[in-house]
Amino acid sequence: MTPPLQLEVKGRDIKISNGVAFSPDRRWMYHSDTPNEVLYRYALDEKSEPGERELFRRFDAKGGLPDGAAVDSEGYYWSAQFDGGRIVRIDPVSAQIVDEIALPVRWSTMVAFGGPDLKTLYITSSREDRKAEELAHYPQSGDILAVEVEVAGLAEPLFPT
C-alpha cells in the first residue's frame, strides 16, 4: 500500500475514465470507460485494494455510453448514458439493465443520490459543443435534474483527515 496521498496506477489502457462506484459490502469496485462502451468490475481484497479488472458489461452506443454512476443500497449500479437520453439501473449479478429512466436531455453525465432519505437521484447533463438545432430539441441540456426513486442510494464516505 502506498503512503497517504501518494498516487499509484491501478488501471491502464483507458480512454475516458468514469463511473467509479463501490458495492455496499465493499467487495466490488466498478469503473466505466465511456468511449470503449464498457463497464468493468474489480474484486476488492480485505484491504480494499482492487484485483484484476474484468469486463462486467458491454454497451451498445445506440443506447448511450456509460458515463458517471452511483450504486444504490441494494448494490445496483446506476449509469448516466451519455448520448442516450436515459439513466439505466444494472443488476450487480447478471449485469443486465433492469430499469431505466428516460430523460428530457440526450447527454446525461453523472448521477448522485441525495435528499433526506437518499431517494432523490440527481442527474447532471451537458450542452457542450451541441448545435443550435440539437439544443432546440433538448432545451434542458446542461441542467441538473432530479427524480424520486424507490431504492435509496448510499451515503458518500468521508475522506479521512
- Taking only the tens place, the pLDDT of each residue in 100-137 is 999 999 999 999 999 999 999 999 999 998 889 989 99
Whether the Cβ atoms of residue 28 and residue 43 lie closer than 8 Å to each other? yes
Is 60 tagged catalytic?
A: no
The active-site residue out of 13, 67, 91, 129 is: 67
What's the grid cell of residue 16? 475516458
* Alpha-carbon dihedral angle through residues 128, 131, 132, 137, given to the nearest 10 degrees: -90
The predicted-structure confidence for 4-43, as pLDDT tens digits, reads as follows 778 778 777 889 999 999 999 999 999 999 999 999 999 9
Q: Is the pTM of this model over 0.85?
A: yes
What percent of the chain is modeled with pLDDT above 90? 78
Quick check: 1 pLDDT over 60? no
**Domain boundaries 17-148, corresponding CATH code:** 2.120.10.30
Closest by alpha carbon to 61, among 35, 87, 29?
35
